[in-house]
A and B are shown apart, each in its own frame.
Chain A
Amino acid sequence: MRAATAERSPLVKSLRKNWDLYLLIVPVIAYYIIFHYIPMYGLQIAFKDFIATKGITGSPWVGLKHFERFFDSYYFWRLIKNTLGIGLYELAVGFPIPILLALMINEIRSERFKKTVQTVTYAPHFLSVVVLVGMLMMFLSPQHGIVNLIIRLFGGEPVSFMTEPGWFKTLYVFSGVWQQMGWSSIIYLAALTGIDPQLHEAAKVDGASRLQRIWHINIPGIAPTIVILLILNIGSILGVGFEKVFLMQNSLNMESSDVISTYVYRSGIVGAQYSFSAAVGLFNAVINFGMLVIVNYIARKVGQTSLW
């Protein structure tokens, strides 16, 4: 018995000494298991015909039926096109702008001006999506919206931005830029303050211009941060957020606003086709996860930065 105690694993030893630490974290582990891992287990309904009375485990298996139905459906290509389109558009516009903004803010000498720019550009981040979309609708209203008032002032025809499918993606992306660019720039600003000032001094002595110093010192200095955020962003390209798309969506702009997540909501929560929408959601999650793994792999091969 005694010998066994002495050979106990470090886990048991640690458990004995710091049992209260383990007790503290138990509720959080329980939370993660219940609210994050049980739904992953519940994903099996994507391969079953979910019958409420039989529960998730008791429902009969049907193989890939729901996936096939989704791939063959009229909506499939439209959903892929819109989800990917919005994701790529957002990446192309929304990703570089905060970097640019951080580089510009970093060059301001006057502390007061710097603080003003930061305070103002961070502010929209705290508006809720509902309010943001509400503001979009007020500003873009064809009758009274200020944007159309200006268009009319210059003799143009008012545009019904919110119901015009062609405008949807642009409105979505640029309203996002307006709301988030300041906030997203914080992380790059933090990285910029970590750059050794001696590098700049040396470059100045060598006669480097401001632009040259930004190009050769600041940008390489924040490159690891850029890569990490890029990986995370690419990993969620298909994960185009439900909330804003859903709020901006209406029957007239569906053609370009219907994305996978809103489709899952419509067919699943509203239409109660649980198994089918779980299959659609799983398809989406697997592709996202796959992209994340691939991009991370490439980043690790090309540079030294990666998520894991």
Chain B
Amino acid sequence: MVKQSFGDRMFDAINHVLLLLLLAVVLYPLVFVVSASISDPSAVLNGEVWLWPKDLSITGYKKVFANQDILRGYLNTIVYTILGTCVNLVMTVMAAYPLSRKEFYGRNAVTALFVFTLFFSGGLIPSYLLVKNLGMVNTMWALIIPNAVAIWNIIIMRTFFQQSIPGEVQESAQIDGCGNIRILLKIVLPLSLPILAVMTLFYSVAHWNAFFNALIYLTDRGKYPLQLILREILIQSNMQEMIQTNEESLAKSIMEAESIKYAVVIIANLPVLLLYPFLQRYFVKGMIIGAVKG
């Protein structure tokens, strides 16, 4: 080791201070939401909660779990996420595997066909008319089929197949009389569990957080995913039915409205929040594979 100069030590100190500041800025809103959600609503409104919870209370959570819209939205989102992710995974493998094989003649042309859609698209209106003509408006298929696969994920998976599974293994299986489909099922997929995990995560987070297709294609409230319900509560402050104004004072209902907002943010993100520490390295791995230009 070369001895550290004064300048280098200064550099380290400044770097650490800046990063600590940054940590605080990123973390503070997240901690605050958690604290506010389990604090007494009046303490939150009076500005007594700064960082840690004050006068523990779970009013917000109780109200959220008593609300039919939220529960139904939650359930819908779970269904859309599971179904959508399955479709996504199957389609991604079906595209990525042939594209990873040298024997597949014309794979550059096919890739170009897919990639072009990244740069140019028909846009909102023609897509909307198409989905409408296909009769998918106001069905859950409008949230699943138009997003059946993402080109970026195809490229990531194809790159993984090419780089992490030795071509020799596939060739020897072929010599032993294994067909392409059997190679895929018996050799390639079992060796690809890490990338399949990454894809599952990418796709399911996307489905969990999606609201745009639901906004334009769904008219039936009973089919709304969680994010649309969240939009009503958080952004449009539509909570008439959740807070009974008739028996309680206005001040109290405003308080409850606020605590519902904090609680609903936590509940909506609970699955990701709980899984995040375990999944983090997979997320990052996926991003890095994606960064390798194919």
- Chain B residue at smallest Cβ distance from A225: B291
Residue contact B276 to A126, C-beta cutoff 8 Å: yes
A101 touching B276 by the CB < 8 A rule? no
Contact A18 B180 (CB under 8 A): yes
Shortest Cβ distance from B129 into chain A, in angstroms? Answer: 6
B2 interface residue (CB < 8 Å to A): yes
> In the complex, which of the residues A18, A29, A129, A190 contacts B287, with contact meaning CB atoms closer than 8 Å?
A190
The reply to whether A21 and B101 form a contact with Cβ atoms under 8 Å apart is: yes
Residue in A107, A126, A247, A268 whose CB lies within 8 Å of B231: A247
A217 CB within 8 Å of chain B: no
Chain A interfacial residues counted at CB < 8 A: 92
Are the C-beta atoms of A281 and B125 separated by less than 8 Å?
yes
A292 and B116 alpha carbons, distance in the complex (Å): 12
CB <8 Å contact, B130 and A35: yes
How many whole Å from A148's CB to the nearest CB in chain B?
9
Q: Which of A72-80, A81-89, A165-173, A204-212 is found at the contact surface with chain B?
A: A204-212
Q: A29-B110, A137-B235 are in contact. Are A14 and B104 (CB under 8 A)?
A: yes
Q: Measured between alpha carbons, how far is A87 from B205 in the docked complex, in Å?
A: 26
Q: Which of B33, B98, B208, B277 contacts A119 (CB 8 A)?
A: B277
A38 near B130 (CB under 8 angstroms)? yes
Query: What residues of chain A lie closer than 8 Å to B103, measured between beta carbons?
Result: 14, 17-18, 21
B86 within 8 Å of A (CB atoms): no
Within residues 16 to 40 of chain B, which ones have a CB less than 8 A from any CB in chain A? 16, 18-19, 22-23, 25-27, 29-30, 32-33
B83 CB–A CB distance under 8 Å: no
> What's the least CB distance linking B257 to chain A, in Å?
10
Q: Does A130 contact B (CB under 8 A)?
A: yes
Q: Is the CB of A105 within 8 A of B19?
A: yes
Number of A-B contacts (CB under 8 A): 254
Chain A residues with Cβ under 8 A from B7's Cβ? Answer: 209-211
Given A22-B98, A43-B126, A225-B291, verify A121-B265 contact (CB < 8 Å). no
Contacts of A233 in B (CB 8 A): none
B contact residues around A126 at 8 Å (CB)? 205, 209, 269, 272, 276
| 1/0 contact string of B121-147 vs chain A (CB within 8 Å) | 111111111100000000000000110
**Is B164 close to A, CB under 8 A?**
no
When C-beta atoms are compared, the residue in chain A nearest to B11 turns out to be A210
- Among B8, B110, B124, B145: residue with most chain A CB under 10 A: B124
A139 touching B29 in the complex, CB below 8 Å, given contacts A11-B106, A36-B122: yes
Would you list which residues of chain B between 277 and 294 have a CB under 8 Å from chain A?
277, 280, 283-284, 287-288, 290-291, 293
Nearest-neighbor residue (CB-CB) of A249 within chain B: B235
A275: nearest chain-B partner, CB-CB: B125
Which A residues lie within 8 Å of B113 (CB)? 29, 32
A219-255 interface code vs B (CB 8 A; 1 in, 0 out): 0000001001000000100000011000100000000
Q: Complex Cα distance A264/B272, Å?
A: 33
| Bound Cα distance from A187 to B286, whole angstroms | 10
Q: A129–B210 Cα gap in the complex (Å)?
A: 8
CB–CB A21/B104 < 8 A: yes
B16 to chain A, nearest CB (A): 8
A135 lies within 8 A of B265 (CB): yes
Which A residues are CB-close (under 8 A) to B216? Answer: 265, 269
| Contact residues in B for A71 (Cβ distance below 8 Å) | none
Chain B residues within 8 Å of A204, by CB? 2
A sample of 19 more A-B contacts (CB under 8 A), given A21-B104, A42-B122, is A14-B105, A31-B149, A35-B145, A43-B122, A45-B129, A119-B280, A128-B209, A131-B230, A133-B234, A138-B33, A138-B258, A138-B262, A178-B29, A190-B288, A191-B291, A211-B11, A282-B123, A285-B120, A289-B119
Can you spell out 27 A-B residue pairs with CB atoms less than 8 angstroms apart?
Answer: A21-B97, A22-B98, A25-B99, A27-B91, A28-B114, A35-B146, A35-B148, A37-B117, A38-B122, A42-B125, A45-B129, A105-B19, A107-B15, A121-B23, A124-B26, A131-B269, A138-B262, A144-B44, A178-B26, A243-B211, A268-B124, A268-B128, A269-B128, A274-B129, A278-B126, A281-B124, A285-B121
Instruction: Give chain A's interface residues, CB within 8 Å of chain B.
Output: 10-11, 13-15, 17-18, 20-22, 24-25, 27-29, 31-32, 34-43, 45, 56, 101, 104-105, 107-109, 113, 116-124, 126-131, 133-135, 137-139, 144, 146, 149, 178, 182-183, 186-187, 190-191, 204-205, 209-211, 225, 228, 235, 242-243, 247, 261, 264-265, 268-269, 274, 277-278, 281-282, 284-285, 289, 292
